[in-house]
Amino acid sequence: MGWSCLVTGAGGFLGRRIVRLLVEEKELKEIRALDKTFRPESREEFSKLQKKTKLTMLEGDILDESCLKTACQDVTVVIHTASIVDVFGVIHRESIMNVNVKGTQLLLEACVHASVPVFIYTSTLEVAGPNSYKEVIQNGHEDQPLENMWSAPYPNSKQLAEKAVLAANGWTLKNGGTLYTCALRPMYIYGEGGPFLSATVNEALHNMGVLPSVGKFSTVNPVYVGNVAWAHILALRALRDPRKAPSVRGQFYYISDDTPHQSYDGLNYTLSKEFGLYLNSSWSLPLFLMYWIGFLLEVVSFLLSPIYTYRPPFNRHTVTLSNSTFTFSYKKAQRDLAYKPLYSWEEARQKTVEWVGSLVDRHKETLKPKTQ
C-alpha cells in the first residue's frame, strides 16, 4: 500500500529541500506539505514534483489542533521543520514560544491521535550553546553534556521542543502502536535560498559591495542545506528499519558536512567574492568590549521596557553566538544513520555561488533605467 510523509514548514528553506528528496523515495504514496502559507515559487516547484508522486499542499497554522489532526491522518512519518527562527530577538518572545514549543507539543499529540509511528524533529545547534566566546568547542559530539544557558527565546524554545520530542519516544499510539522519535541538530545552514546569506548579500549590494560583519572572530562548521535535508531522509529510513531503529529511537544527532571550518564572515566572503563583494577591513572593537556594550544595551532595554520596547542591535548572546569557536562532528549520524554528505564542499559552494550570482543580477536589473 506504500507509506506517506507529512513535512511541516514545507515551504521554507529546508522544508522545500526535504520534499525535493522525498519524491525519490521508494513506495512513497503521498507527501503532505504543510505551511502557514506557500510563496509562488514553492507552489510552482511542488506542482512540478507532483508528476513524480502525489503531493498535497496544506495551508494551516501549527497551533490549529484540527488542522494538525487532519494533516496527520493516515500518515506514516512526520518531519517537523516548522519553527520561528530568530537569533537576533526581533520577534516577540510569546510568539516564538507558542510556535516552537506549543506547536511541537500539539503536533506530537496529533501524531498519537492519528497513530503516526515516526516523528523526526529539526532542532538546532543552538540548544547546545555557545555559552561563552572564551570556551572553545572543536569537533564536539553528542556525549558532551552541553546545554544552552541563555534565556533568549529562540534557543530556549528549541531546547524545550527538542526535549518534548525525545521524551515522547515510546508513547503509546491510539491504535496500540508506539511512537518513535529522534532529533537532528544542524550547524548553521547555508545554500540557495538561505535567508541569512540572502540578507547579507543584499545589504552589501546596497552598501557599495561591503559585506556586513556578522562573526569575524568565529570558527564554525557550516552545513549545506542539501546535506541537512539528506540527513532527514536517512533518519526516517533508519526509524522505519527494524534493524536500525533501536539505536536511533530517542536520540539526537549533530549534522555537519565537509564544509571547511571558518568564520561566518569568511563563509560569506567565499560565496560572494567573485561578484566584487568584500569584507570591511577597517578596525573593529575588541570582542570583550563588544560583549560589555551588549550588556549595557540589555540594561537600557530592560529599563525602557515599562514605557517603550527597545530592541538593541546586539546583545551578549548574539556577540557570543557570532564569535565563538564551536564546531561539531557528524560521526554519530554516520554510525547510526549511515549518513555521509550527499554534496561535497565543492558542489555546495558552486551551487550557492551561482545562486548568489542570481541575487546580484536581480539587483543590477533594479538599477537599470526604465525605458518609456
The tens digit of pLDDT for each residue in 135-174 reads 999 999 999 999 999 989 999 999 999 999 999 999 999 9
Domains located in the chain, CATH noted: 3-194+223-260+328-346 (3.40.50.720)
pLDDT at residue 99 tops 90 = yes
Q: For residue 40, with 0-12 CB atoms within 10 Å meaning exposed, 13-18 middle and 19 or more buried, which class applies? A: exposed
pLDDT for 285: 85
- The CA-based angle 264-342-185, given to 5 degrees, is 50
pLDDT at residue 362 tops 70 = yes
Q: Which residues pair with 6 in a beta bridge?
A: 32, 78
What are the φ and ψ backbone dihedral angles of 161, each rounded to 5 degrees?
-65, -45
Q: What percent of the chain has pLDDT over 90?
A: 87
pLDDT for 90: 81
The rounded Cα 272 to chain-centroid distance in angstroms is 22
Residue 218: band (very low, low, confident or very high) from pLDDT cuts 50, 70, 90: very high
Choose the catalytic residue: 29, 48, 51, 158. Answer: 158
pLDDT, greater one: 279 or 370: 279
pTM of the predicted model as reported, rounded to 2 decimal places: 0.95
> What is the average per-residue pLDDT within 116-142?
96
> What is the average per-residue pLDDT within 86-105?
92
pLDDT at residue 371 tops 70 = no
The tens digit of pLDDT for each residue in 173-212 reads 999 999 999 999 999 999 999 999 999 999 999 999 999 9
The tens digit of pLDDT for each residue in 278-333 reads 998 777 889 999 999 999 999 998 899 899 888 888 899 999 999 999 999 999 99
Average pLDDT across the chain, whole number: 95
The tens digit of pLDDT for each residue in 230-254 reads 999 999 999 999 999 999 999 999 9
pLDDT at residue 372 tops 60 = no
Is 163 a catalytic site residue?
no
**How many Cβ atoms are within 10 Å of 286's Cβ, its own excluded?**
9
> What is the average per-residue pLDDT within 358-362?
95
Kindly report the three-state secondary structure assignment for every residue of the chain: CCEEEEEECCCCHHHHHHHHHHCCCCCEEEEEEEECCCCHHHHHHHHHHCCCCEEEEEECCCCCHHHHHHHHCCCCEEEECCCCCCCCCCCCHHHHHHHHHHHHHHHHHHHHHHCCCEEEEECCHHHCCCCCCCCEEEEECCCCCCCCCCCCHHHHHHHHHHHHHHHCCCCECCCCCECEEEEEEECCEECCCCHHHHHHHHHHHCCCCEECCCCCCCEECCEEHHHHHHHHHHHHHHHHCCCCHHHHCCEEEEECCCCCCECHHHHHHHHHHHHCCEECCCCCCCHHHHHHHHHHHHHHHHHHCCCCCCCCCCCHHHHHHHCCEEEECCHHHHHHHCCCCCCCHHHHHHHHHHHHHHHHHHHHHHHCCCCC
